[in-house]
Amino acid sequence: MTRTLTEAFAIAKSQDRAALIGYLPAGFPTAAESVALITAMVEAGVDIVEVGLPYSDPLMDGPAIQAAVDIALSAGTTTDVVLDVVRQVASTGSTTLVMSYWNPVERYGVERFAEQMALAGGGGVITPDLTPEEAGPWMDATNRHGLDRVFLVAPSSTDARIATVCAATSGFVYAASTMGVTGARSQVSSAAPLLVERTRRLTSLPIAVGLGVSTGEQAHDLAAYSDGVIVGSAFVKRILEAHDHAAAVAGVAALAAELAAGVRR
């Protein structure tokens, strides 16, 4: 039985720690390999999985994720393939989300995507470039099919904007710690603690921080003030640097274990 986001965060809270959230594009390097890699991440300590929906114009992503998305698209990854990856990952009991730019969801069909996502066992969708003001049909569809919808706040967000985003969000609020593109960094933005503090004043939802986390020490630091730590590019880099699939599996498992230890310290 797949855990909901509420259940996943509640379990982490009961253990006095932050949840570890790991991202990987579906179909990277192939559909079957992406399922094996995500499964290895979960077995090593990832609590919640973000399955990326590859898109041809990933403007918010850095070089590592752009490279991974290109590989996935070249391998023939479609939205239906992504949903099948969700089905396989969710069947393990993992809390499984999709992270997608809005265009692929809209082209697939808003109602159809929500319906198929729910049928696959997915728990929700993160839509980084969709604003609450333009999300009416999406909010209706997710309500009908019992999906959480996750919107983003950023350091530049005003308090009024954060309140608007939180009102439209369910599951958790995604706090983007930097204004730049995705990518592992040697130091997580100093703006993250203040952003979490400002957001926490306006919502009772869990708040997870993403963009830049690459080490167990960084995960530990973020876990001190957030409810969730999101890691994506660092996992992708391990796979890009691996010489074969076995090495990639070992690499993401080792990173997941390091990060899981970080949020649990």
CATH of residue 127's domain is 3.20.20.70
pLDDT of residue 1: 64
130-179 pLDDT, tens digit per residue, is 999 999 999 999 999 999 999 999 999 999 999 999 999 999 999 998 64
Residues forming the active site: 50, 61
Give the residue numbers spanning the domain of 132: 5-150+210-264
% of residues, the chain, pLDDT over 70: 95
Domain-located, residue 18: yes
Domain-located, residue 111: yes
Q: Could you tell me the end-to-end alpha-carbon distance of the chain, in angstroms, rounded to an integer? A: 28
Q: Which of 257, 256, 253, 252 is nearest to 241 (CA)?
A: 252
pLDDT of residue 186: 46
The predicted model scores a pTM of: 0.94
Domain-located, residue 186: no
Helix axes 31-43, 79-90, angle to 10 degrees: 30
4-31 pLDDT, tens digit per residue, is 999 999 999 999 999 999 999 999 999 9
Q: Sheet containing 48-52: which strands, arranged edge to edge?
A: 148-150, 124-126, 95-99, 48-52, 19-25, 228-231, 207-210, 173-176, 152-153
Domain-located, residue 90: yes
Domain-located, residue 105: yes
- Alpha-carbon distance of 13 to 118, in angstroms, equals 26
Domain-located, residue 174: no
Q: Structurally, how many domains does the chain consist of?
A: 1
Domain-located, residue 134: yes
What is the band of 185 on the pLDDT scale with cuts at 50, 70, 90?
Answer: very low
Domain-located, residue 32: yes
30-59 pLDDT, tens digit per residue, is 999 999 999 999 999 999 999 999 998 877
